[in-house]
Amino acid sequence: MNPEIHFTLGPASWPSHVLQAILEAGVAACRINLSHTRPGQIAAWFSHVRAIATRVGRPLRIGADVRGRKLRIGPLPGGQIELAPGQPFRLIPVDTSDEVMGDAYRVSVNYPELGRIVLQGDAILLDDGALRLRVESARDEEVQCTVEIGGVLPERSGVNVPGRHITLPALTMKDRRDLDALAPLRPDFVYLSYVETADDITLLRRELARRGLHIPIVAKIERAVALEHIEEIARSADALCLARGDLGVEVPLPRLPYVQRQVIAAARRMGTPALLAGEVMFSLVSRQTPYRAEVTDVVVALEQGYRGFVLSDETAVGCDPAGAVRWLHRIAAAVT
């Protein structure tokens, strides 16, 4: 079995020799996460990847991941901070263009309405639920919290507010600026994060067409509400990507395996290819050999009908990005 593997470009995979090794290991596409780029940077990222692909002489598609409704914290000094349980910590709601440098006591969040939707006692989860804050008070200009579960908080980490409706549009102003920057670069496809309904796909397709881009759309399934509309999303999109990181924060973890089965069943009914993302080989961020449970996870996904995988941290910040790709191929080769 030959899975379709997408790798995420990041600090670990940026060096030319690493990119070359990743391509030689056998990948179908490069994912460029626009959450971590400014419009002026996007062209440089595309140019770098295409130059290496030309040098290696291997076909490679480039997909741009449009952020959509994703809530993220802003920049941090040194790229990360450490939060200790019990310490006070403030979230500053801002528009994306107004984000401020955070510190050990506060960080900005790209959602101006945050202080209006949360209440005292609410939980706020950071970095795919790895850290947890508890709301003490909320005002328009800040949300005062106490750290319940601490740890290292990387800049640009995701923010989840379970049980609260996030009133963000499918495409933000940043997304539209990013689409403007993408138009002359001619990406092969786009991912759309935080899809909720088929209307989101229709909107993005219209915005792409306005810029002369008639390319496939991969709908990322990472909101619980998307599961209520999964067949119409599968019918409207060109492919699905089940992103278990954020979705695993939105739905109870014991439900996640059943959601994985639900999504692939809908994709197969609609004849839409599906990819799996989210901690596929996460142990390879810091080690050379995957956990046995991860091997089983990959085999189960392929047997269920998933066409392939999107690697995130494994290739963006992992210790051996090309090794992660080789392991996926090695495991898939044993699937009968």
Q: For the chain, what's the residue count?
A: 336
pLDDT average, residue stretch 45-71: 95
Q: Which residues contact 304 (CB under 8 A, 6 or more apart)?
A: 260, 261, 264
Half-sphere exposure of 82 (CA within 13 A, CB side): 2
Q: What pLDDT does 189 receive?
A: 98
Half-sphere exposure of 290 (CA within 13 A, CB side): 22
Please determine, for residue 136, whether its predicted confidence score (pLDDT) is greater than 70. yes
Alpha carbon distance 248, 258 (integer Å): 12
CA 268 from centroid of its chain's CA atoms: 23
φ, ψ for residue 253, nearest 5 deg: -55, -40
List C-alpha distances in Å: 227 to 18, 115, 266. Answer: 37, 27, 10
Instruction: Report residue 97's pLDDT band, with 50, 70 and 90 as the boundaries.
Output: low
Please determine, for residue 336, whether its predicted confidence score (pLDDT) is greater than 90. no
List C-alpha distances in Å: 117 to 93, 106, 140. Answer: 11, 19, 10
Q: What pLDDT does 1 receive?
A: 80
Q: What pLDDT does 243 receive?
A: 96
Alpha carbon distance 194, 171 (integer Å): 10
Alpha carbon distance 179, 181 (integer Å): 5
Please determine, for residue 96, whether its predicted confidence score (pLDDT) is greater than 80. no
> What is the 8-class DSSP label of residue 85?
T
pLDDT average, residue stretch 59-63: 97
- For 160-185, the pLDDT digits (tens) are 998 787 888 899 888 999 999 999 99
Q: What pLDDT does 17 receive?
A: 97
Rama region for 13: left / alpha / beta (φ>0; ψ in -120 to 50; rest) = alpha
Instruction: Report residue 128's pLDDT band, with 50, 70 and 90 as the boundaries.
Output: confident
Instruction: Report residue 95's pLDDT band, with 50, 70 and 90 as the boundaries.
Output: confident
User: How much of the chain exceeds pLDDT 70, in percent?
Assistant: 99
Q: What pLDDT does 133 receive?
A: 97
Q: What angle do CA 305, 309, 315 make, to 5 degrees?
A: 165
Q: What pLDDT does 99 receive?
A: 75
Domains of the chain, CATH where assigned: 4-69+169-333 (3.20.20.60), 77-160 (2.40.33.10)
Q: What angle do CA 49, 295, 28 make, to 5 degrees?
A: 25
Q: Which residues contact 330 (CB under 8 A, 6 or more apart)?
A: none
**What amino acid occupies position 163?**
G
- For 224-267, the pLDDT digits (tens) are 999 999 999 999 999 999 999 889 888 889 999 999 999 999 99
User: How much of the chain exceeds pLDDT 90, in percent?
Assistant: 84
From 239, 287, 292, select the one nearest 29 (Cα to Cα): 239
Structure tokens of 247?
A: 């979705």
Top-confidence residue, 98 or 158: 158
Q: Is the dihedral of CA 180, 14, 159, 84 positive or negative?
A: negative
Determine contact, residues 276/247, Cβ cutoff 8 Å: no
